[in-house]
Structure 1
Amino acid sequence: MADSSHCFYCREDLGGKRFVRNEGKPVCVRCHTKFCANNCAECHRPIPVESKELSHKGRFWHEECFRCAKCYKPLAKEPFSTKDDRIMCGKCCSKEDAPRCHGCYKPILAGTESVEYKGNSWHDECFTCYHCKRPIGSQSFLSKGTDVYCSPCYDKKFAKHCVSCKKPITSGGVNYQDQPWHNHCFVCSSCSKPLAGTSFTNHQDQVFCVDCYKSSVAKKCSGCQNPITGFGKGVNVVNYEGSAWHEYCFNCKRCSLSLSNKRFVTKGNDILCTTCGDK
């Protein structure tokens, strides 16, 4: 049986000396460090009796080795977390778990202003217009492919521009003769009445509402003296020697027979059927 006054390993006399009992057996400090001490999980060296030892889930550290695996902050007296067997301070652990910014690829920490769009996340200051590079913030934006644009830049780059005012058409609009117009810019050339959704006609590359066309532009029927508009009943027109008639007004002056698609004769200013013309 081993002598309790001697080291179990080296048999050194322990009288008056510091020693450690390991599993009930006396061990000198030197042999304890060599044969019995726990190895530090960080530096892999033994943790001697005279050093403060820290432990967590079956692993051991020197006090000075117990630090964050990312920023190396000492954690002996600080809160800490573990991730994949690594010891980390709370801040670094939050960074590890935080989503990555799609712009700068740095972590977006909890409580940070951020934007989520189409499954990706950005820091608020990183969510910028592809064209002008300014943060979009709370203003509206549009996307083209994978790029996002503030509304002014999108309009400048992609929107159709009104033939009249040259400004971008952001919604709605009228397309006439393959040219785009704002609804409020597509107006009668005479009275400026908006023409979107109404009947109108074109004369010498100008558009007119029905009323203005009748009163200002349309020829007058030589029969009824009303304007020939091309709308409604008076769609078909008869032209003869500089004068014009509604088709239904082109009749024999004497017997009122319709002369549309029939032979006729003239006497003075009168249009006559052949029968009346022979009388």
Structure 2
Amino acid sequence: MRSYHILMIYLFSYAKLDCKRQLHLLLRSVNGASGTSAKNLLLGASLWREEGAYLHLEIGPRSYSTSTMTERFDCYYCRDNLHGKKYVMKDEKHVCTKCFDKLCANTCAECRRPIGADAKELNHKNRHWHEDCFRCAKCYKPLANEPFSARDDGKIMCGTCGSREDGNRCQACYKVVMPGTQNVEYKNKVWHEECFTCFECKQPIRSQSFLNKGDDIFCGPCHEKKFAKKCFHCKQPITSGGISYQDQPWHSECFVCRTCRKGLAGTRFTSHEEHVYCVDCYKTSVAKQCNGCKNPITGFGHGTNVVNYEGHSWHEYCFNCKKCSLSLANKRFVINGEDIYCPDCAKKL
């Protein structure tokens, strides 16, 4: 205990002396002590502080002394004095540039080398680059002062390459369709305007109408030539307004009465020997005359069945016995001149 009191008095006596001299004197006193007592003295001294004059001693590999008179400023790792030297603040600790480069520097995401204290560093989403390493992965353009995009695979790209990589691709040439360029969209697919061509003639369709057959696109003329049905009458393609009769396609303007040329689409008509006629022309020009009522047999209206016998024709409802008016359709009858009779009436003639 005597040595301890002597040391404390000794320290206080030299408290106003130069800091380095105090430390030197202190270490000399400690060196004079032995064993455990010397260690205890140092520990006691490290906790000692007096108002007005300060002396603070830290023991261990990071020990340094500070004073309000001449304050020390050391690297957190190597303990080198940093007065007049470059240093870096890392987690609120002062670090010399050498230790920073070796122990604290971030690793460049491109070249995998440390980004030193003297290098310019760029970071994005917890990744770091040297300024010279921050380039487009496609065209290698420096991007330190340029707009860029970060892809899901980690690649950094300039605006132009990013648009090409992420943009819609043309269904014909598979190249990117750049925003703002002329293009054609059809069924959720996109083409360059010059790539949207007819499958048959290979000419760009541009603003004209087109038709598709499966996945192939055709201009109007080529589609008509290749796929349109041919009119039964004129043998030309039917593009619109066609009608069907007896499983044959017709232009509506071709489906007309043979005699008067009246259009028959949507009206009553009949046919004779592969020609079609309106009702009026059929009655006057084609239909047979009933041998009973002397009117044309058209097949329209009441009673469409016809009875033919030896070059004569009757409406079914006109084929009756001349005397008793009994219907003779599907029955035995007797011809007398141009008249017909049932067997019973024929016996009475």
> CA, structure 1 residues 188+48, in 2 after alignment: closer, same or farther (shift >3 Å)?
same
1:1-279 equivalences under 5 Å are 20-22=86-88, 24=94, 39-46=107-114, 53-57=120-124, 58-84=126-152, 85-171=154-240, 173-233=242-302, 235-250=304-319, 255=323, 257-258=325-326, 260=328, 261-266=331-336, 269-271=337-339, 273=341, 275=345, 278-279=348-349
Structure 2 portions without partners, runs of 5+: 1-62, 65-71
> CA, structure 1 residues 49+198, in 2 after alignment: closer, same or farther (shift >3 Å)?
same
Max Rg structure: 2
The DSSP-based 3-state class of the residue aligned with 1:186 is coil
Preserved CA contact (<8 Å) 1:174 1:181: yes
Partner Cα distance (2:218, 2:172) in 1: 14
Partner Cα distance (1:79, 1:152) in 2: 48
Which of the pair is proportionally richer in helix?
Answer: 2
> CA, structure 1 residues 41+262, in 2 after alignment: closer, same or farther (shift >3 Å)?
closer
Q: 234-243 or 162-171, which moves further after superposition?
A: 234-243
Partner Cα distance (2:95, 2:309) in 1: 135
Partner Cα distance (1:49, 1:248) in 2: 117
Question: Whose relative contact order is higher, 1 or 2, with alpha carbons under 8 Å and at least 6 apart?
Answer: 1
Q: What TM-score results when the alignment is normalised by the length of structure 1? A: 0.76
The DSSP-based 3-state class of the residue aligned with 1:239 is strand
Partner Cα distance (1:107, 1:151) in 2: 28
Q: Which amino acid aligns with 2:147?
A: P
Q: 143-152 or 195-204, which moves further after superposition?
A: 143-152
Preserved CA contact (<8 Å) 1:33 1:46: yes
RMSD of aligned Cα (Å): 3.7
Preserved CA contact (<8 Å) 2:171 2:190: yes
Preserved CA contact (<8 Å) 2:334 2:346: no
Q: What TM-score results when the alignment is normalised by the length of structure 2? A: 0.62
CA deviation after TM superposition for structure 1 residue 61, in Å: 3.8
Preserved CA contact (<8 Å) 1:228 1:234: no
Residues 189-222 of structure 1 deviation map (CA, whole Å, 9 limit, x = unaligned): 1111222232222212211111111111112233
CA deviation after TM superposition for structure 1 residue 63, in Å: 3.6
